[in-house]
A and B are shown apart, each in its own frame.
Chain A
């Protein structure tokens, strides 16, 4: 446990360095924990913002009420988030299709997974994962989906979240439409 003297020193040192101060530095630091952007709720590029605005205008139609427009923007944003998650899902399966094995970041959970991972190293004469992909397209897809499953389950969470957000705003717009706003 830190002594009172150490705590005091820590606090005074922290005062000397409180992170980046310039706007560019702050902007860069704001993306320190950025991983894949699937949980982000802000336009990533100007092009993305333009497309969001275009879709929002189409959703809102002739509405002039600022609340409707704001809800339409949020719904459009969620729609693009959803499309992005779906693209990542497809890319994840394609990656497993192309490379056979799928480098997982999660801990190996079964004896089979451990054996598959350690097999080539331990000289157990197990074939490399990419060599064991089935040959028929339907079987190859199934095997690729199976290998990508842990990632797909995680992506499903982001997909559900984006879909729920979109539904929430579209419902609000429909409600406002009912009220004639």
Chain B
């Protein structure tokens, strides 16, 4: 009943690409999915397209998650360093200018990097403290990203399960159909003349 063969049409191709993303990479992902799943019905085509889009979004959000933490390093250093530079009895805000300069140079100047490491070591801290501070600063965004990632992952899994259910049902019907053919038709293949008369009861 349902159309068993339908080549993917432009009707369903809504590009999920941003201007900064590579179209050929997305095409590779689509081809890989089409090769692995081999959609045969319209419904399967819809779901395969859906899985491609969701997978692409998952790649994007994961990349963004990492980049958001990395982009927060400078801000994290600027927050962390005044506390590390502060002497007993002094105030953190007195060292803000020096902290800003060090945070800026930390990315390019090995000397500044060494100084930051030295300061961190004084308090038994490592580079992980900078990352922790960056994550703490972006925790609202990271939580929202995680929520979106969880939603996408769960929908992608549901789509894959749906295809598997359709396939299982198709396999069951093919099996039942082939049983019927074998039981009913193959015996009738013999020419009626060659048939032996049924044995007398």
Contact = CB atoms under 8 A, between A and B. Distances in A.
Contact of A59 (B2, B20, B141): B2
A181 B12 CA distance: 26
A152 interface: yes
Contacts of B46: 59, 79, 166, 170
Interface string B125-152: 0000000000001101100110110010
Contact of B1 (A55, A61, A79, A166): A61
Interface residues of B, number: 46
Q: Mostly helix, strand, loop or mixed at chain B's interface?
A: helix
A55, A89, A90, A150 pick with most chain B CB within 10 angstroms: A90
A139 interface: yes
Contacts of A149: 141, 144-145
Interface string B3-17: 110100101101111
A61 B60 contact: no
Given A62-B3, A138-B67, A160-B151, A97 B19 contact: yes
A74 interface: no
A51, A58, A89 pick with most chain B CB within 10 angstroms: A58
14 contacts: A58-B3, A59-B2, A61-B3, A86-B53, A90-B16, A94-B19, A112-B137, A138-B63, A142-B64, A145-B61, A160-B151, A171-B162, A176-B1, A178-B173
B47 to A, nearest CB: 8
B12 A68 contact: no
B43 A174 contact: yes
Contacts of A141: 18, 20-21, 60, 63-64, 67
Given A90-B17, A141-B60, A145-B60, A61 B42 contact: yes
Given A90-B16, A142-B71, A153 B148 contact: yes
Contact of B162 (A51, A145, A170): A170
Interface residues of A, number: 52
Contacts of A87: 14
Nearest to A54: B11
Contacts of B93: none
Interface in B66-97: 66-68, 70-71
Interface string A71-111: 00000000100110011011001100100000000000110
A153 B149 CA distance: 10
